[in-house]
Structure 1
C-alpha cells in the first residue's frame, strides 16, 4: 500500500509540485451538481462528469487521507490543467490501483434487473483497490480498451456511483434505453448515497475509435457518420 507520510508531516511539501506529482490521483464527480465548487479547482470535463485532482498524503490499513488540488495551488505550481491531468494519468494507477471485478462483488448491492443482464461475464465492475473514488478508473489509460478487447465488444458504462462503474458489452441485443432506465431507478433508490451519485447518463466506449463519450453523443455521432456516407 502506498504511504506518503512526508507530505503529511511537512505541509509545505503540498506547495512543491515535484514533491506531490507522483501522489496525484483523479477523482470523478458530477459536473452540474458541483458547478460552484469547480470554479475553485482545476478540472477536466467529459460529458456531465468532472475530473478533479487530489494528492494522497497518507494511507493506513483502515483509511487514506488526501488533499484537493486548488487553483491557488496551481498558481504556485506554475503549471496548467493539461500538465496536471497528464501527470495524474501516470500516477493514478499506482496510487489507486484499478480492479475489474465480477458484478456480484458490487458493494452497494445489485438490483435483480441488472443481475439478470449478466451473461458469460459480459458485465463487470471497474473500481480501484480501495473501492473508493473508483469511477475515475474509466479514464485510466488502457483499462476500457483492454476490457473491450477481452470482451470483443464496445462498451456501455453505467456510472453507478463515484466509487465504481458497471461496464456492459455493447452487443446487438442490448437495449441501452433499458440500461438508462435502470440507472435512473438505482440513482433514485436507497442503493446509492446521494453524496456518491455520479450521473443519470449512460456512457459509451467505442472500441474501434477509442472514444469515451455519453451514450447519447455516441448515437448522434454514429447517425451523423452514416448520414454522411449516404450523401457520398
Structure 2
C-alpha cells in the first residue's frame, strides 16, 4: 500500500516489476519500455509485454496509466488489470503472425480508417498510404483486437501495400465499408452527450464553447461520432453520413473538428461567422483538447446543394 504519491518514474518501475513477476509465474515474459511517436508527433513512453509463443505483444501507454493512478486507482490494481489484458489477449486474440499480414484476403475485413491532421503528421505519413482530404489525411489500420474501451491496431505501411497490390482508393473503399459495419455513426444533441460525460473533455469543450459564444447555448449543436467514441471523427468519411444530416435540416452546416474522437455540427444561421467559430476551435484545441487528440484548427462547411465539405475558415 502506497502512502505517498509515486513519481512517474517510481510508478513505471513498480508496475514493470510487478507485471513481469506475475507473468513469469506462467511462462517467460519480457517487459520493454520504449518511446514512440503518436498522433500529431506527440512522443509517449510505452510498455510492451512480450510472452513466449505469442504473435502480438500488448502495448500500454504509461502516461495514460499513470493518470489513472493519480485519479486514485492503486498501482496494484493497475498492474492486475494489465496482467488480465495480457492473459485475455492470449486466450482471444486473432491467430495471426507476421505472414498473416502479407495476404490481403486475410486482413480485408479488418482494415479501418483513422482521420488525422495532415500537417501535424507529415513525418509519419511518408511511411504509410493515405488519402488527403481538406487539411486531413485518412490513414489505414488493421484491427487486431477490440475490447469495450480500447482497440488494438497496426498501421498499414507502404511495405504492406507492396504485398497486397491494391490501390489507395480500393483500400479506402474497403476501410470505409468496414467502419460502417463495425461502428455505426452516432449523432446526438450536445446537451445529451455532455450529460452522459459530465466530467470529460467533451463537457470541458462545450463549456469553453459557451464561454466564447454564450448565445450558442440556444443553438442546435450536435455531436457526431461512432458507437465506441474512439477515433470517431472518421465518420466524416462514411458514405452519405453528412448528406443525411443536411437533408434532415435542409441547409448548410458548419463542422467543428473538436478532436480525433468526434466533431460538432452546427446548422448555419445568418449571424454566424466561420472565422469566429475558428477562434473557438483554436481555443478548445489549446485549452481543452490534448495535443495528441487535436484534429484541426480549421472550421469546415458542408454545402447542402452540392453535397460537398469545404474549409470555411
Query: What TM-score does the superposition give when structure 1 sets the normalisation length?
Result: 0.84
- Alignment partners' CA distance in 1, 2:221 and 2:102: 42
Are the counterparts in 2 of residues 128 and 137 from structure 1 also a CA contact under 8 Å?
yes
1:193 aligns with 2:290: yes
May I ask how many residue pairs the two structures share in their alignment?
Answer: 210
Q: Which residue of 2 aligns with 1:18?
A: 105
Quote the residue 2:310 is aligned against.
Answer: 213
2:245 equivalent to 1:147: yes
Contact 1:27 1:52 in 2 (8 A): yes
* 2:115 partner SS: strand
- Aligned residue in 2 for 1:52: 139
Question: Structure 1, residues 92-149: CA drift from partner, whole Å, max 9, x if none?
Answer: 11123211122131541212246741546x2101111111100111111111111111
| The one of 108, 117, 137 aligned to 2:216 | 117
| Aligned equivalents of 2:175, 2:214: Cα separation in 1 | 33
Would you say 1:103 and 2:202 are equivalent positions?
Answer: no
Partner Cα distance (1:34, 1:125) in 2: 25
8 Å Cα contact 1:42-1:70 kept in structure 2: yes
Change (3 A) 1:149 1:18: same
8 Å Cα contact 2:302-2:309 kept in structure 1: yes
Contact 2:149–2:228 (CA<8 Å) still a contact in 1? no
2:300 matched residue in structure 1? 203
Q: Does structure 2 conserve the Cα–Cα contact (< 8 Å) formed by 1:29 and 1:198? A: yes
Gaps of 5+ in 2: 1-90, 195-199
Deviations, residues 48-95 of structure 1 (Å, cap 9, x unaligned): 111101111121234221111111001000111111011112111112
1:7–1:61 distance in 2 versus 1, CA, 3 Å: closer
1:9 aligns with 2:106: no
Where 2:166 maps in the other structure, the secondary structure is coil
Larger Cα-atom Rg? 2
Instruction: Please report the RMSD computed on the Cα atoms of aligned residues, expressed in angstroms.
Output: 1.9
Partner of 2:277: 179
**Partners in 2 of 1:7 and 1:214 — Cα distance?**
41
With the length of structure 2 as denominator, give the TM-score of the two structures: 0.63
Residue 173 of structure 1, CA deviation = 2.5
Which of 260, 279, 286 in structure 2 is aligned with 1:162? 260
Per the TM alignment, residue 200 of structure 1 is displaced from its structure 2 partner at its CA by: 0.7
Q: For structure 1, which runs of at least 5 residues remain unmatched after alignment?
A: 217-232
Q: Distance in 2 between matches of 1:16 and 1:172?
A: 53
Supply the distance in 2 between the matched residues of 1:213 and 1:62 (Cα, whole angstroms).
32
